[in-house]
Amino acid sequence: MDSDMESAHLLDSFLFPKIFQAFRMAIQPSKLIIAFLGLVVICLAGRIMDLNKTVVTTPLSPGLAGDTRSGASQPSGVTELLVHITNPDAVERYIAASSKDREFRGVFSTLWGFGTDRFHGALRCLFRFDLLGVAANIADCFQAMVWAVRYHFMYSIIFFAIALAVMSITGGAICRIAAMQFAVGERPRLTEAVRYSTKRFTSYFTAPLAPACIIAFIGLFIFVVGLMGNIPYAGELVMAIGMPLVLFAGVLIAVVLIGALAGFNLMFPAVAYENSDSFDSISRSFSYVYAKPWRMGFYTATATAYGAVSYIFVRFFAFLMLWISYRFLQLGVLRDNAKLKAIWPEPSFPYFVGAASPTPGNWSAAAAAFLVYLCILAVIGLVVSFVISFYFSANTIIYSLMRNRVDNTELSDIYTYSTATDIESTTPEFEAIETESQPDLDAEQD
């Protein structure tokens, strides 16, 4: 009997298997609907902003034709972004030298295509256990954001602000649903979750921005010391005297940067669990990362590997659905499937829309091809929505597990409106009101 109790206690001490609940939580319709609507808003904003095409694009050159960097698929053309990834110093020369045969694309479409390519490249490297390749693909995505901010500053500021605002509502709602389900087994309604994230919008929106503002503020001090170094003769002494402070500021920036990158995934779940403000969510995420970094890394690696397998399964299911639909349509369309090929090229696992472009011959075929394209985009959007839902659901579970290990907080402990009401009813002010009103009630009874 004692051995059975010890075995059960030992199994309870291993919390990481709870991460495997993320797939079942992420596949729920309410989370997929929220993620899909958020994705639609972001894509519409990007497409509208892409009406102003500013990214220089040229046909694929022989020098870059072999770029299958870190397992990524081969690009269809050369853009500023690809040049920035391969040779950052050559971007301006590329723009100046490609004045004859260049075309223009939008920033959003460029980032979307590049990010999709690197995402699948990272998956291929992960299944080959090529961790360096995974890191290289992730580093390329960060480099893509650096390129966007450097060469398309105003576009990037506006678009990233819109994307962060949308993700603050959608991600916050998904985290709230996942937190309630994981903690107490309840599933709040979609409208209730969105209402919660809207109410805490400021906390969700400012949590990722606060570390960047702190880094910029500390970096401003180092920048001022550098400016003072330009003073004739005395500048060198000023920098030498201020070097200890500069190095200390560098240490602070490194601490904040590591905490922000490693703890970013925990900021939204912290608000969802605690109903806290942005600074409390930042402090919690930083403390959990630095208190148990190896455990945090293990949980993240487990969720990443499980998420990759789950994504492949969802993508295969979506491809199988499209392929079966296409094949059964082939059985009914006559004349060598000419009409079907004109509106819908055969889908493949890498390309749901088909490797070739449709060739409509008249207006009705063109309209049909457009409608079919919208349906395929909806399927792709649902697959991407699953990725978004899984990301927030898995990190919500990780936050609860880290909070349990670091703060010794029960997994079922979560902020609810009923809890807040109970706390307010036990405050001294509320007790004073009850005491003052008690004589009146006694007088009425008399």
Chain segment 387-436, per-residue pLDDT in tens: 999 999 999 999 999 998 888 888 888 887 654 444 444 444 434 444 44
pLDDT at residue 33, rounded to an integer: 93
Looking at the DSSP bridge assignments, the partners of residue 104 are 56
Indicate whether 74 and 143 sit together in one domain.
yes
147 with 213, same domain? no
Residue 68 pLDDT: 44
Instruction: Give the confidence band of 94 by pLDDT, cuts at 50, 70, 90.
Output: confident
Q: Looking at the structure, tell me whether residues 61 and 146 fall in a common domain.
A: yes
> What pLDDT was estimated at residue 167?
93
Nearest to 115, CA basis, from 143, 96, 89, 92: 143
Burial class of residue 107 in the structure, from the number of CB atoms within 10 Å of its CB (0-12 exposed, 13-18 middle, 19+ buried): buried
How many helices and strands in the chain, by DSSP H and E?
A: 19, 3
Quickly state the pLDDT bin for 54 (edges 50, 70, 90): confident
Give me the number of domains the chain comprises: 2
43-57, 276-290, 396-410, 425-439: the lowest-pLDDT one: 425-439
Q: What range defines the domain where residue 287 resides? A: 207-291
Residue 397 tokens read as 């579970």
Q: Is residue 125 part of a domain?
A: yes
Domain boundary among 245, 270, 291: 291
Does pTM surpass 0.85?
no
The answer as to whether 93 is a domain residue is yes
Give the domain-ending residue among 241, 275, 291: 291
- Identify whether residues 226 and 143 lie together within a single domain: no
Separation between Cα atoms, residue 380 and residue 368, nearest integer Å: 18
Q: Give ∠ CA 197-202-204 in degrees, rounded to 5.
A: 55
**Structure confidence at residue 105 (pLDDT):** 81
Residue 114 lies inside a defined structural domain of this protein: yes
Flag whether 399 is in a domain: no
Does some domain include residue 282?
yes
The predicted-structure confidence for 196-240, as pLDDT tens digits, reads as follows: 999 999 999 998 888 889 999 999 988 888 888 888 878 788 888
Q: Looking up tokens 């011959």, which residue turns up? A: 361
Q: Are residues 146 and 212 in the same domain?
A: no
In a domain, 10, yes or no: no
Of 245, 265, 291, which residue is a domain's last?
A: 291
Could you report the per-residue pLDDT of 66-88, keeping only the tens digit for each?
444 444 444 456 778 888 888 87
Please report which confidence band the pLDDT of residue 40 belongs to, taking 50, 70 and 90 as the band edges. very high
The mean pLDDT of 36-42, rounded to a whole number, is: 94
Q: Does any domain span residue 20?
A: no
Flag whether 438 is in a domain: no
CA distances from 167 to 154, 192, 311, 316 (A): 20, 17, 20, 26
Contact (CB, 8 A) for 123 and 316: no
